[in-house]
Amino acid sequence: MTKPGPMDTAVSPTSYECTIAVECCVFGFQDNVLKILLVKRSIEPFKDHWVVPGGVMREGKTLSQSVNDVLENLTGIKKMSLEQVACYSAVDRHPVKRVVSISFYALVKPENYPTIPKNYISDIKWYELDELPKLGFDHDILVSDALNKLKENLKEHLVFGELLPDRFTLTELQDLYESILGENLDRRNFRKKILQMNLLEDTKEKKVGVKGGPSLYKLKK
């Protein structure tokens, strides 16, 4: 597994090959609660433990492509926009062999995706974030780091991926923000901040079935 050669990087003359995995924290928003997609392993190690969906990087694929492949295999999610979170390299993080993982997060609408356990998975479920079981591998940390990254992004940008439907009320958007940030926001201040980003457009339609008759907004094109 160690072989010198002129193609190596300059400083370290010996090469060591290692499995690279991608892990994806898929966040979803449903019933007004932020959830994350977990899978239950049907094989060792960590058989019967819940983990974040992940898989090995394949030959000829980038990390982004690999994680897209993983997600599509598992959930049918295609062309997800993904954010790199961090890289995990502790030598004993995988009990059987050395694996270095790069984690990503994605934001989706749970109702769009079937949750059918596939390869090496005995179960699949959207978990509410405050009801997470103890996860396998180092995925507790992975999820925590991903959520923090998501929070940071949320505070600066208008980011909600496809967590919301095409048309949504500002209250729905605010509920989403509150779920992710884990804090309550002032309605007037929130609306002020969001609207002055000038990214949303009032469709002038009203959402029926909810008191007050709130306006539906959509992303400007």
Q: Determine, following the binding rule CB under 8 A, whether residue 116 of this chain makes contact with a second copy.
A: no
CB nearer to a second copy: pick between 55 and 172: 55
- Shortest CB 220 distance to a second copy, Å: 27
Helix (H) or strand (E) holding 154: helix 139-156
Beta pairing class for 99-108 and 83-88: antiparallel
Q: How far apart are CA 38 and CA 117, in angstroms?
A: 10
Q: Determine, following the binding rule CB under 8 A, whether residue 54 of this chain makes contact with a second copy.
A: yes
Beta pairing class for 33-41 and 121-128: antiparallel
- Shortest CB 113 distance to a second copy, Å: 15
Residues engaged in binding DNA (CB under 7 A): 169-171, 186-189, 191-193, 206, 208-215
| Dihedral sign for Cα atoms in the order 179, 145, 62, 126 | negative
- Shortest CB 169 distance to DNA, Å: 6
Q: Which does 63 bind (CB under 5 to 8 A by kind): a second copy, DNA, none?
A: a second copy
CB nearer to DNA: pick between 143 and 170: 170
Q: Which of 94, 113, 160, 163 binds a second copy (CB under 8 A)?
A: 94
Q: Determine, following the binding rule CB under 8 A, whether residue 15 of this chain makes contact with a second copy.
A: yes
Q: How far apart are CA 35 and CA 179, in angstroms?
A: 9
Q: How far apart are CA 167 and CA 157, in angstroms?
A: 19
Q: Which of 29, 35, 53, 138 binds a second copy (CB under 8 A)?
A: 53
- Shortest CB 171 distance to DNA, Å: 3
Q: How far apart are CA 33 and CA 120, in angstroms?
A: 28
Q: How far apart are CA 112 and CA 116, in angstroms?
A: 13
CB nearer to DNA: pick between 12 and 189: 189
